[in-house]
Structures are given as C-alpha cells and as structure tokens.
Amino acid sequence: MGAPNAPITIELFSDFQCPGCKFLHETTIKELRQSYVSSGKVRLVYRDIHLPMHRYARIAGTYADAAEKLGLYDTVADRLFATQAQWEQTGDVDKAVSAVVPPPQMLKLRAMAADPSVGRALDEETQQALEQIRIPGTPTLIIHHGTQSERIGQVSMPILSKYLDTLLAGK
C-alpha cells in the first residue's frame, strides 16, 4: 500500500497469530500508515507468512490476501489482529472477518480465500522469507531506500520515524 514511487519501501514480514506482530501492527504500523504511507513517503508491502507453530495463521493469511484483492486488506488485517485472542483458540477466522465485511463482499472473500492458489502463494512467500531472505523471526521489517536496505524487528514509532526522517532528508 502507498505510492508506488515512494522514496522508501518497507517490507513487513508478519504472521497473524504472532503476538509481537499484533503489537507492532496496532502501534507502529498504524502510525506509519497515517504519517508516512498516506503522505506518499513510504510504500508498505505486507508479506503475510505463517510460522509452523501457529496453527491458524495460514487460514488468517488467506482471508487477508483475499481481502486485499477486494481493497479491504487494512479492514481485515486490523480485525484479525484485534481478535487474535479469540480465533487463535477456535480457528474461526471466518467469524472474526465477517463482522467487518458486508455480506455480499464476504461471500466473494470467502470464495477467494478458499481458492488453493491463495494458500499456495502464502506458502511460497513463507518459504522464501524463511529460507531465502532468512528473516530472524516475526515481525521483521526490511527498509529499502535507494541501494540501502536494513532489516529490523520490533520497533517503536518514535525511533522508526527518526530513522525514516533521516533517510528522507538524505542525511
């Protein structure tokens, strides 16, 4: 999300069932979207992966990726993280998502999420993140600016914004 020609691109490797990812999403990422993504300074690329110990992260990822195709990614991702404590007990991701998506769109979303190609794409992204990019865990942010790229983990907005402002100022 964000301007394709933004000077900074941030790839966010996140797992919907990971508590650290929930914390990052609800604090730093929320502010990042408001302050930097909406203003065109940063392009945010979500890489939804599913770690083996998180039983329902894959199905949550399929709903989020299907929602992206309907322009509802933020709504669904926000909801999945907000209700993580509930659906991670029951696996009822559908119930959590259907509370924020209007019924006609929910029908489409459900069908898209059930498409095996969506799950396969998530599996490939996960494999690539763990085996090729070798992220240390979730959440991981990779900040790209020109030829420079830095990978970081959990970070608070005051520290991240200082770094982004430095990059934007060309220092």
Partner 1 sequence: MRRRVILVLRLLLGAIFLYAAYTKLRESYLIFAMSIDSYQILPPDAVLGVARTLPWVELAVGIWLLAGWRIAPAATAATLILAVFFGVMVFTYGKGLQIDCGCFGLGEALTWKTLVRDGSLVAAAGALAVLAWGPRNP
Interface with partner 1 (CB under 8 A), residue from 46, 63, 138, 145? 138
Question: SS3 letters for 111-166?
Answer: HHHHCHHHHHHHHHHHHHHHHHCCCCCCCEEEEEECCEEEEECCCCHHHHHHHHHH
Q: Which of 100, 133, 152, 168 binds partner 1 (CB under 8 A)?
A: 152
Please report, as residue ranges, which positions from 11 to 30 form the binding site for partner 1 (by CB under 8 A). Answer: 20
CB of 169 to partner 1, least distance (A): 12
Which single residue is written with the structure tokens 């009822």?
92
Query: By rule CB under 8 A, what count of residues binds partner 1?
Result: 17
**By C-beta, is 5 or 53 nearer to partner 1?**
53
Among the listed residues 49, 150, 168, 170, the single contact to partner 1 using CB under 8 A: 150
Q: By C-beta, is 110 or 151 nearer to partner 1?
A: 151
Closer to partner 1 by Cβ: residue 120 or 162: 162
Q: Which residues contact 146 (CB under 8 A, 6 or more apart)?
A: none
* Minimum distance, C-beta of residue 126 to partner 1, in the bound complex (Å): 14
d(CA 148, CA 96): 39
Q: Which is nearer to partner 1, 5 or 85 (CB)?
A: 85
In contact, 47 and 21? CB cutoff 8 Å: no
- Regarding 55 and contact with partner 1 (CB under 8 A), the answer is no
- Residue 69 makes CB contacts below 8 A (sequence gap 6+) with 112
Q: Which residues contact 120 (CB under 8 A, 6 or more apart)?
A: none
Check if the beta carbon of residue 74 is closer than 8 Å to that of residue 33.
Answer: yes
Of 136, 146, 147, 170, which one interacts with partner 1 (CB under 8 A)? Answer: 136
Which residues bind to partner 1, rule: CB under 8 A?
20, 136-138, 150-156, 158-160, 162-163, 166
